[in-house]
Structure 1
Amino acid sequence: MRWVDAGKGIAIALVVLFHAARWLDGLPADTAAWQQVNDTLATMRLPLFFTLAGLFAAKWATAPVADLWNTKLRLFAWVFVLWAVIDLGPYWLGQGLHGTGINFRREIFDTLMAPVVPRFELWFIWALALFFLLNRVTRRLPASIVLIASFAVSVVGFTGLLPLPSPGWTGLCKYYFFFFGGMVLRAALFRYAAHSGWLLRGGVFFVWAAGAVAVTHWGLTTVPGIMPALGVLGVLAGVAASQALQHVSVVVSLGAKTLPVYLAHTPTIIVLSAVGVIAPPAPLLEAAAIVYPPLVAIAAIMLSLALYRVSRRGALRWLFEPPPRLLLAKRPESAQRSV
C-alpha cells in the first residue's frame, strides 16, 4: 500500500535526520536547533515506524518457527551481527572526532555482548526481532490485556524510572506497545487512513504538533503517560502525512527500502562528518549549520541506497541479505499436524 510505504519513508527520513544532527554536533557546527526539532518529532518518528512494522505481523505470531526464522529472524540476526562489526570502524572514527577516548578491550567486549545489550543504532533491528518473538509468546493472551500491559511498560520506559542497561532495552520497553498496537488495531488504522477526511487528519496533526511543541518546550517528557499518549497521536498524524505524500514517488520508494538505509546511514554520516571537518574551513561549516544536518541526511540516504543497489549485483549482497546456509529445514506438514 502506497501510504504505508510513504509512512515508512517519512519515519526513516526522520531517523536519519535525528542521527545526522547528533553526530554532526560540534564538528564544528552547532546543531542544537535541529536537535530541538528532533526532540519535538520524537513522538512521531519511532512510534510511526514500529506501528507500520506491526501492521503485517499477525501471521508470524502463529506461523511455524522455521517460517518465522527463514523469513524474518534470519535476516535480522544476520544484519545485526554483521553490521555490529562493520560499524566499529566508523563508530571509533566518530568517537575520535568528538574527542572521546577509545578503550579497545572494552569495545571488543561490548561488541561480543551486543546480542544481549545491543550497540549503536542497531538496537532497532534487535528490538524488531524480539517483538516478533514476543508476539508468539503472547499469542494466546487477550489482545486487550497485552495492549494495556505494553502501554504500562511504555510509560515506564519513557519516564526512565528503571535503570535499563542500554538504549536498546529502553527502546524495547517504549515501543512494543506501538508494534503490537499496529498489529491488533490494523483494521482501525486502515479505516482511519481510508475514510477520515482531510479536516479530521488536519485536526489530529495540529493537536499532535501543538502537544509535541508544548511537551518539548516545558520539559514534560518524563511525566508518566504523556509520551506514549502523544505517540498515539503522532502515529495518527504520521498516517495523515502518509496519505498526503502517498503520491510522491521518492517518499514511497524510500519507504520500500528502509532496511538498507537504516543499516548504512550512520556510518555514512560519520564518514561525511570527517570529510566535512577536514575539507571546508571551519567558518564555512559554522555559517552552514542551519542546513548542514538535512543536507548530510539526504546525502546519507542517497549513498545508502546506492550501496544497496551495488550490493544487489555482486558479492556485496551479503551486506543486506543472509546466506542460504542459515535457512532452517521445514518440518513435514504431516508432522506439524500430528503435533
Structure 2
Amino acid sequence: MKHLQLFSKKHRDSLLNKRKGETKFGERLTLLGNITNIYDALKDLDVEYVIFGISESIGVFANHGKSGTEDTWEATIKFLLNIQNNDFIQSNKVVVLGHLDYDGQLETIKNTHKSEKKQVQSARQFVEEIDKDVSHIVYSIIKAGKTPIIIGGGHNNAYGNLKGSALALNQQISAINFDAHTDFRTEEGRHSGNGFSYAYAEGFLNRYMVFGLHENYTSKNIFKKLDKLQCADYISYEAISIRKDISFNKALNRSEKFMGKDYFGIELDCDTMQNVPSSAMTPNGFTTKQARRFVHHFGMQKKAVYLHICEAIPTGAYNVGKLITYLVTDFIKAKQHANR
C-alpha cells in the first residue's frame, strides 16, 4: 500500500521526552517493522488496539470545506507518546501502525486543473482511492481481532471505516456519530459530507444515530430523509443543551438503546465541540468534557468496534493534539474496564 507510512522507532524516539523515574506511553507500545501484510503482522500479536492516522484534507476540499485536517495525526502522536504509562492505561496492548500520507496530492489536484469545478471533481475521484486504503486497513485490523483507532482527515473516512468493519465482520454495522452535521448528503461524488449516505446505499451501514446535530445547519431535505428511515435517528444539540428536552445522560442512554445489539463504530467530528479548531468550527457546542463523556460511555459497550476522531485542524494556541489524546485514552480505558 503505497500511501501507508509505518511509524518507525526512529520517529518515535525523536518525539519522546524521556524523564528519569517515569515511563512514557510511547516507550512501551508496539511498533511494526517492515511488513507485507497488515493482517499477518497483527493476528498473533498480544495487543488489543491499533492506532493509525489519515493525513488528508482532500475529502473536506471536495465538500468545499476548509483544509488543514491533514495535520491532525502529527499534532496528536507527539502528545500521545508522552503521556504517562501507569496502572490507569498501559501501552503494552497498543500498536501504533503509522499513517496514510497523501501529502502533496491536494496541491497536485489544484495545479492540474484551473477551474474550481474541475478541482472539486478531481478531488472527489481521489477520495474513492482514499476509501480503498482506509477500508483495507480497518478490515485487516478487525479481521485480526484488534480494535482500530483512527485519527485525522475529513469525515469522508467514515465510509472506509464502516465498509472495512462490515466486510471484516461479514455483516452490516451501525454508527453513533457525535457531530453537528449528518454527513448524509446526496451521493454526488465522494466527499466529507456523504460518507454515511454512501455506506448506507452500499449496504454497509445498518442503524445510524447522530448525537448533537445542529438544527441551524441541517437542511429540510436531510431531515425528511432521516425521518423516512427507520434505521436512522438523531438528537439535536438544541434539544439537549438549549431547550433541555432531554438531559445529556438520557440522550446517551437513548442513543445506546437505539443502537440495539449491533456492532457499531464511534465517530467523533471535532466541529461539534465549542471553539475547537475544525473544518466547520462552532462558537457554540458541546464542551470537551461532554465529548470525553460520550467516548467513555460508548467505549464501555462491548459491541463498539472502532473509534474515529476527525475534522480537527491544529492551529494557533489551541492544543488539538492534547485534546485528541484525552479522547483516545478515554476510549482505551473504557474498553479495558468493560473487558474486565
**Greater Rg, structure 1 or structure 2?**
1
Q: Which has the higher strand share?
A: 2
TM-score (norm 2): 0.29
Higher relative contact order (CA 8 A, sep 6+): 1
Q: Which has the higher helix share?
A: 1
